[in-house]
Amino acid sequence: AMALACRPKLLIADEPTTALDVTIQAQILELIRELQAEDGMSVLFITHDLGVVAEIADRVVVMCRGALIETAETARIFDAPQQPYTRALLAAVPRLGAMRSIDRPTPFDAIDPESGAATPAAPLAGPPDHAAAPALEIRGLTTRYLTGGGLFARRRPAVHAVENVSFTVAPGETLALVGESGCGKSTIGRTIMGLTRPHAGEVLVDGRPLDGLARRDAVRRVQMVFQDPFSSLNPRHSVGTAIAAPLEINGIARGAAARARVAELLALVGLDPQMAGRRPQEFSGGQRQRLCIARALALEPSVLIADEAVSALDVSIKAQVVNLMLELQARLGLAYLFISHDMGVVERVAHRVAVMYLGEIVEIGPRAAVLYDPRHAYTRRLLDAVPVADPAARFRRRDIAPAEIASPLRPAGWEPPLRRYDEVAPGHFVMA
Ligand SMILES: Nc1ncnc2c1ncn2[C@@H]1O[C@H](COP(=O)(O)OP(=O)(O)OP(=O)(O)O)[C@@H](O)[C@H]1O
Ligand SMILES: [Mg+2]
């Protein structure tokens, strides 16, 4: 509304939907298209999401290292890209549905920054070990936030951010957690990490509860990587100091031993161990995310929670970081709780997918079952909103809910309904 107040002839939209989940993104794109049709304004739409490009653009300009390397009508760019860099960009796009015939995660093709050519990553180790005890288990987790009310208000309404959620993640397994903005994904991550206190329920890591006496021990076994690698590292400390901090705080290593472990961790995430003395601001976004992963791995966790860990990265860097995560998983047997609104990435990394709506899981099951045979109406709506990198699909009809997002804010004393789940196929559960 602010940008349109003066009825501009040109609207410059710089990654306007990057931080949004797919349903909200679809609504914003629809809105821009409508306004454009009404007023005939021009739009310069800057994005790294080729699905969004296919949806909204008439013409595309591809830039690489400061130079304009290719420009054409949208359909031509997708059908007949002329430059190797453009071809590599298109090859790296995670397309939902592209992996229908593959029953376990495969790495993305990464783009070689020098030649612009796509280099497929190495194949990965076998499937997760479901026979082993779960690395992460949550039982009936419920987290509510009390709101407003002040000192004298006895009965305050509460945000039911997470309501009676249960699931397990096996060693070496990735469970993706998806759902629209505000549905409670980050709250689950924060509650597992002990950053938010649950109202009810239990968290077990390697079979041990995350409270009571075992807490200090168990808490090291689960680590988190966040969306914004820029604010997760202190600019005043060298990256070596940042990565060594968990080792020193927990009395695991100091001095020369800590330095040796830092060098090992940097090498593990594909960075030069010589870089330990540098400050975070000397690193790119992708490198910083590698640093955050190195720091998270310092205590040899069995579970890594990645909360939109690759969402802020462009397609090719995203592919590299995702590949790194997949390699580390295969090598170290890590269990991932992978929170993301990028369904293309989810399709690439997840063994199983859990779909959340207003604090509850509405559907959970093997990746192929949930993504290609969704049973809950909400899952269908979410998948329907995913942009496809195909200009021909641009005007397909969709069911985009026009209204605001429903709210998990409930009056005081509200009792959540008792839920039942039907097992529609082996391991595929849908809220009745
Ligand atoms: N500290 C807080 N106090 C009150 N309400 C909160 C607090 N943190 C989160 N909420 C609310 O809890 C709900 C769940 O928030 P959460 O951040 O877990 O969602 P999310 O699924 O991670 O969303 P996004 O995709 O936007 O990251 C939202 O309604 C949010 O407004
Ligand atoms: Mg979140």
Q: What are the structural domain ranges in the chain?
A: 1-221+301-400
Distances from the Cα of 251 to the Cα of 133, 196, 227, 255, 413, angstroms: 28, 25, 28, 11, 45
Q: Whole-number mean pLDDT of the chain?
A: 84
Provide, for the chain, the percentages of residues in helix, strand and coil under a 3-state DSSP scheme, each rounded to the nearest 5. Answer: 35, 25, 45
Residue 364: per-residue pLDDT: 97
Mean pLDDT of 285-313: 90
pLDDT band at 171 (very low <50, low <70, confident <90, very high): very high
pLDDT band at 267 (very low <50, low <70, confident <90, very high): very high
pLDDT band at 20 (very low <50, low <70, confident <90, very high): confident
Asked if 228 contacts 308 with a C-beta cutoff of 8 angstroms, the reply is no
Measured in Å, residue 186 CA sits from the centre of ligand 2 at: 4
What's the pTM value of the predicted model, to 2 decimals? Answer: 0.83
- Spell out which residues line ligand 1, taking CB within 6 angstroms: 21, 145, 159, 161, 181-187, 341, 408
| Distance, CA of 286 to chain centre | 15
pLDDT band at 390 (very low <50, low <70, confident <90, very high): confident
Residue 152: per-residue pLDDT: 56
Residue 111: per-residue pLDDT: 61
- Backbone φ, ψ for residue 184 (5° rounding): 115, 10
Pick the range with the lowest mean pLDDT from 148-157, 187-196, 253-262, 312-321. Answer: 148-157
Of 147 and 145, the structure prediction assigns the larger pLDDT to 145
Ligand 1 atom nearest to 19, measured from its CA = 26
pLDDT band at 399 (very low <50, low <70, confident <90, very high): low
Specify the fold of 1-221+301-400.
Answer: Rossmann fold (3.40.50)
Measured in Å, residue 138 CA sits from the centre of ligand 1 at: 19
Of 108 and 196, the structure prediction assigns the larger pLDDT to 196
Cα–Cα distance between 390 and 77 in angstroms, integer? Answer: 10
pLDDT(218) > 80: no
Asked if 209 contacts 218 with a C-beta cutoff of 8 angstroms, the reply is yes
Of 286 and 130, the structure prediction assigns the larger pLDDT to 286
Report the residue among 147, 159, 362 best suited for mutation to probe ligand 1: largest number of ligand atoms under 8 A from its CB.
159
Residue 395: per-residue pLDDT: 58
Measured in Å, residue 183 CA sits from the centre of ligand 1 at: 7
pLDDT(153) > 80: no
Measured in Å, residue 226 CA sits from the centre of ligand 1 at: 15
Residue 336: per-residue pLDDT: 96
